[in-house]
Amino acid sequence: MDPRESYDRVFELLREHHSWFDSSIPLIASENVTSPAVREALISDFEHRYAEGWVGERVYAGCRYIDEVERVAMDLAKDLFRADHADVRPISGVVANLAVYTAFTKPGDVMMALPITKGGHISAGPLYGSKGNRIGGTAGAVHGLDVKYMAFDDEEFNIDVDRTLKRMEKYRPKLLMFGASEILFPQPVREIADEAHAMGAVVNYDAAHVAGLIAAGRFQDPLREGADTMTASTHKTLPGPQHGMVLTNDGEKFELIKQACFPGLLSNHHPNAVAALAVALAELKAFGRDYADQIIRNAKALAEALYNAGFKVLGERRGFTESHQVIFDVADIGGGMWAEKALEEANIIVNRNLLPYDIKRGRHFRDPGGIRLGTLEVTRLGMRESEMEEIASFFKRVLLDREEPSRVAADVREFRRRFRHVHYCFDCPAEAYAYRRLRG
Ligand SMILES: *Cc1c(COP(=O)(O)O)cnc(C)c1O
């Protein structure tokens, strides 16, 4: 292809993507849409710069303003998460977790985490599965950790404390990894952390999904419940740029984290993303409580509406959810693969997910039995409980009534016209998915 054709094609595709998301219902639990202010920071000149090292001790010149902005980001992070120390340099949640592995463990050490089949993230996964199959999870493949699993109660959709404590006696872990990618309820950190510390283990809480809810005081508070460190992505319920961070109240552990980040894992730490994070944290401090409250109310409303429409929603015994997530079982009505595709045809963007009992029932991650939803992005767009009922009725039409998805898509487009702007920010003039042209 002619270079000019490729060049033009990229912009054409970007515009098509924007226009698609502008007329869709975005329900991926790990995605959010940033404010215009966050995007302005992202495309600033900071994106061309290096700032290796720690604030005030950089190895390059030219960091005068970058340092000041990074201080603002750290101060806001410490304030919001009530932590004495924050490293805002990790360029993603996975890199933040790697910083924890590097700081506190050696290859061969045992780490305990949730398996991917029970909501755990691949960054806490082993190199090999129990049948010798190669999984290639970050903890095992990159840092050589021997990953053992916490026990999980499928019914309660949470970590099983008694069985996990027994496994800890057996495996003597050096690191415990709380947090998950499928997380409906606060985890029993308090119940397990003392035992972990007694055997000399470090406790980390991976708040990639729930960081925004934690900052708002609307989920659990891991650093008060016994976690030594907390890692996070900054772009899920915390509606910032794609980036990561590590927080702790322990000064000695923080020195190890800093060193793991630089020179260990980072050269460039994306100063533009740090500026965007500072902006997002300021917005979160101002509007985070209202935002988190509405996210959780919407998740409960969506779960209940789906349940009333006839779907098998998980967590029924505990009110379905205390987070931004809703998980439901589609194994008997076509499977996760089919459901995800049919919904996408209807302009409803979701992801298929393994349910805790899928493997036992012979299902596979390619066609799992579940669909996971998050109400974080639709809440950002200003939707409330009554809109969750409308969304549940779209799900019913596509998945239960088997209506032609393209017909539902037309109604979804119409529905979305009412929700065009990002909420919970200081300056929200631009449309949420407006494409901004800089080329002239
Ligand atoms: C999303 C996620 C991550 C990875 O974060 P990235 O920022 O994508 O690297 C880590 N841990 C958990 C539990 C997650 O859900």
Render pLDDT for 154-184 as a digit per residue (tens, 0 to 9). Answer: 999 999 999 999 999 999 999 999 999 999 9
Taking only the tens place, the pLDDT of each residue in 407-416 is 999 999 999 9
CA of 122 to the centre of ligand 1 (A): 8
pLDDT of residue 146 exceeding 90: yes
Q: Are residues 251 and 352 in the same domain?
A: no
Nearest CA residue ID for atom 15, ligand 1: 181
Residue 242 forms part of a structural domain = yes
Alpha helices in 230-355 (DSSP H): 251-259, 271-309, 335-345
Burial class (CB in 10 A: 0-12, 13-18, 19+), 240: buried
Residue burial 252-280, b: 16+ Cβ < 10 Å; e: rest: ebbebbbebbbeebbeebbbbbbbbbbbb
Q: Domain range spanning residue 394?
A: 25-31+288-416
Identify the pLDDT of residue 248: 98
CA of 238 to the centre of ligand 1 (A): 12
127, 140 contact by CB (below 8 A): yes
Identify the pLDDT of residue 440: 85
Taking only the tens place, the pLDDT of each residue in 220-251 is 999 999 999 999 999 999 999 999 999 999 99
Residue 422 forms part of a structural domain = no
Identify the pLDDT of residue 149: 98
CA of 208 to the centre of ligand 1 (A): 5
State phi, psi for 265 to the nearest 5 degrees.
-110, -15
Nearest CA residue ID for atom 8, ligand 1: 93
Could you tell me which residues come within 8 angstroms of residue 126 by beta carbon, excluding any fewer than 6 positions away? 135, 137, 139, 140, 145, 146, 147
Dist CA 433 CA 36 (whole Å): 10
Q: Are residues 228 and 367 in the same domain?
A: no
Q: Are residues 130 and 260 in the same domain?
A: yes
Split into its structural domains, the chain has a count of 2
CA of 235 to the centre of ligand 1 (A): 9
Identify the pLDDT of residue 207: 98
Q: Which two three-digit tokens encode residue 152?
A: 């999980």
Q: Are residues 215 and 324 in the same domain?
A: no
CA of 245 to the centre of ligand 1 (A): 11
Q: Which of the listed residues 116, 205, 206 should we mutate to test ligand 1's pocket, taking the one with most ligand atoms within 8 A of CB?
A: 206
Q: What value does the mean pLDDT of the chain take?
A: 97
Residue 2 forms part of a structural domain = no
Identify the pLDDT of residue 130: 87
Local confidence band at 430 (pLDDT 50, 70, 90 cut-offs): confident
Residue 425 forms part of a structural domain = no
Average pLDDT of the residues in 405-429: 96
Q: Which of the listed residues 32, 94, 98 should we mutate to test ligand 1's pocket, taking the one with most ligand atoms within 8 A of CB?
A: 94
Q: What percent of the chain has pLDDT over 70?
A: 100
Return the SS3 of 404: coil
199, 341 contact by CB (below 8 A): no
Q: Are residues 57 and 103 in the same domain?
A: yes
Dist CA 281 CA 31 (whole Å): 17
CATH number for the domain spanning 329: value is 3.90.1150.10
Residue 56 forms part of a structural domain = yes
Q: Are residues 357 and 395 in the same domain?
A: yes
Identify the pLDDT of residue 50: 97
Q: Are residues 132 and 85 in the same domain?
A: yes
Q: Are residues 73 and 118 in the same domain?
A: yes
pLDDT of residue 1 exceeding 90: no
CA of 30 to the centre of ligand 1 (A): 8
| Residues whose beta carbon lies within 6 Å of some atom of ligand 1 | 30, 92-94, 121, 123, 179-181, 206, 208-209, 233, 244
Identify the pLDDT of residue 315: 96
Dist CA 262 CA 280 (whole Å): 24
Element (H, E) at 6: helix 3-22
Identify the pLDDT of residue 429: 84
Nearest CA residue ID for atom 3, ligand 1: 93
pLDDT of residue 11 exceeding 90: yes
